[in-house]
Amino acid sequence: MKSINSAKITGIAIVAAIGAMTTLAFANPPSPTQQKVNAVEYSNNTLLVQLADGSNYVGSTSAPAPCTSASVDTLKVWASQAQAALLSGHTLKIYYTNCNSTPFINTIDIWNN
């Protein structure tokens, strides 16, 4: 019985250690921002969403490391969400990762406020 409990504790410790290492390895965690939209621009597989404070957020099919590139279909969905927020006056919540001082979009949510 003791060996089973020891194995469980060892397993839990290993999982916790791996979780801590992966958290520490993620150098640029996404930072959400939520504002109204000023402008939406799509050109050459790149989406630019400008928020009310003038800050620009980018989605691209060729983002630099460690940012994640998005598919063209994902960029079109994000563009539709941003346009919907712009036209309705709703806010967008954008989760992003900074790469070379440029905030690259990870996820976009539309908020009803």
Is 84 part of any domain? yes
Residue-number span of the structural domain to which 62 is assigned: 33-111
The answer to the question of residue 8 being in a domain is no
- Read off the pLDDT of residues 32-56 as tens digits, 9 standing for 90 and up: 899 999 999 999 999 999 999 999 9
Residue 30 has pLDDT above 90, yes or no: no
Largest CA distance in the chain: 64
CB under 8 Å to 23, separation ≥6 — which residues? Answer: none
Residue 25, pLDDT score = 37
Residue 83, token pair as written in the block: 């346009």
H or E stretch covering 73: helix 72-88
23: pLDDT strictly greater than 70: no
Q: What torsion, rounded to 10 degrees, do the Cα atoms 18, 21, 26, 30 define?
A: 60
Total number of domains in the chain: 1
Could you tell me the CATH number of the domain that includes residue 93? Answer: 2.40.50.50
pLDDT band for position 66 (cuts 50, 70, 90): confident
pTM exceeds 0.85 = no
pLDDT digits (tens, 9 = 90+) for 95-105: 999 999 999 99
